[in-house]
């Protein structure tokens, strides 16, 4: 039975703001506003390693096998050995932005990064596979369904991309919805979008 008992806790460093936790096995990683990514044991909170970044690490880190992928607001994507904390590769992915999100495709060993008005895809070892420019800043990350990746950019522009080729399957078919503040729901056939003032919209995409 769940008791809700506190197992352990740590103090924040210099009042740093929260990042997003990401767990694999008995370890988890979390970023912060003090420009670091920290890996801890989930059992007792022991710090296993720490990696510095040139900016805040707020987005959710992702894992492929024994690699951790994390991006900071200054447009630096780092590939890190999850056991040792060694930085395998640092990739410059664009300008400064708080809106940078990672999506992992484990079966293809692929990382998709949405950053400002660009969508980048990288292999597990950091090789760029493709890059696409969107109509506006992407602010909510993306949704992966089979081989398709859907994202929304500022102004309400929906883009659906074939992740194998980086080709645009559907592009900008919803416009002028500036009050979309969160990711829609999508299953490949139907797309549901909730807006701040104009209600809920459902569209047919029929990609699956």
pLDDT of residue 68: 95
Longest dimension (CA), the chain: 50
Q: Is 90's pLDDT higher than 70?
A: yes
Question: Which of 151, 156, 131 has the alpha carbon at shortest distance from 140?
Answer: 151
Q: What percent of the chain has pLDDT over 70?
A: 86
pLDDT tens-digit profile of 102-128?
888 988 999 998 877 888 999 999 999
Give the CB-side neighbour count of residue 24, counting CA atoms within 13 A. 14
pLDDT of residue 174: 63
Per-residue pLDDT, averaged over 67-82, amounts to 91
Which residues on neighbouring strands pair with residue 67, listed in sequence order?
Answer: 64, 81
Q: pLDDT band at residue 181, thresholds of 50, 70 and 90?
A: low
pLDDT of residue 12: 65
Q: pLDDT band at residue 52, thresholds of 50, 70 and 90?
A: very high
pLDDT of residue 168: 79
Higher pLDDT, 37 or 1: 37
pLDDT of residue 199: 80
Highest mean pLDDT among 68-82, 150-164, 188-202: 68-82
Distant-in-sequence, close-in-space partners of 6: CB < 8 Å, separation ≥ 6 = none
pLDDT of residue 50: 94
Question: Which of 161, 109, 102 has the alpha carbon at shortest distance from 134?
Answer: 161
Per-residue pLDDT, averaged over 166-185, amounts to 70
The answer to whether 85 and 50 have CB atoms below 8 angstroms apart is yes
d(CA 162, CA 165) in angstroms, rounded, equals 6
pLDDT tens-digit profile of 143-174?
999 899 998 877 777 888 999 998 877 666 56
Distant-in-sequence, close-in-space partners of 98: CB < 8 Å, separation ≥ 6 = 56, 58, 73
Q: Is 15's pLDDT higher than 60?
A: no
pLDDT of residue 137: 77
d(CA 22, CA 27) in angstroms, rounded, equals 9
d(CA 169, CA 166) in angstroms, rounded, equals 9
């Amino acid at each position: 039975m769940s008791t809700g008992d506190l197992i352990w806790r740590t103090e924040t460093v210099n009042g740093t703001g929260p990042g997003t936790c990401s767990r694999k096995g008995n370890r988890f990683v979390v970023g912060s506003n003090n420009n670091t990514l920290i890996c801890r044991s989930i059992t007792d909170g022991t710090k296993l390693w720490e990696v510095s970044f040139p900016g805040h690490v707020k987005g959710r880190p992702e894992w492929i096998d024994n690699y951790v992928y994390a991006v900071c607001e200054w447009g630096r994507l780092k590939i890190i050995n999850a056991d040792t904390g060694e930085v395998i590769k640092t990739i410059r992915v664009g300008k400064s932005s708080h809106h940078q999100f990672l999506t992992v495709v484990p079966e293809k060993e692929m990382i998709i990064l949405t950053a400002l008005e660009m969508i980048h895809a990288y292999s597990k070892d950091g090789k760029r596979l493709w890059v696409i420019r969107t109509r506006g800043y992407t602010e909510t990350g993306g949704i992966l369904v089979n081989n398709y990746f859907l994202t929304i950019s500022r102004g309400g522009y929906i883009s659906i991309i074939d992740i194998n080729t980086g080709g645009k399957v559907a592009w900008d078919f919803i416009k002028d919805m500036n009050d979309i503040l969160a990711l829609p729901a999508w299953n490949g056939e139907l797309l549901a979008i909730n807006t701040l003032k104009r209600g809920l919209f459902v569209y047919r995409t029929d990609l699956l």
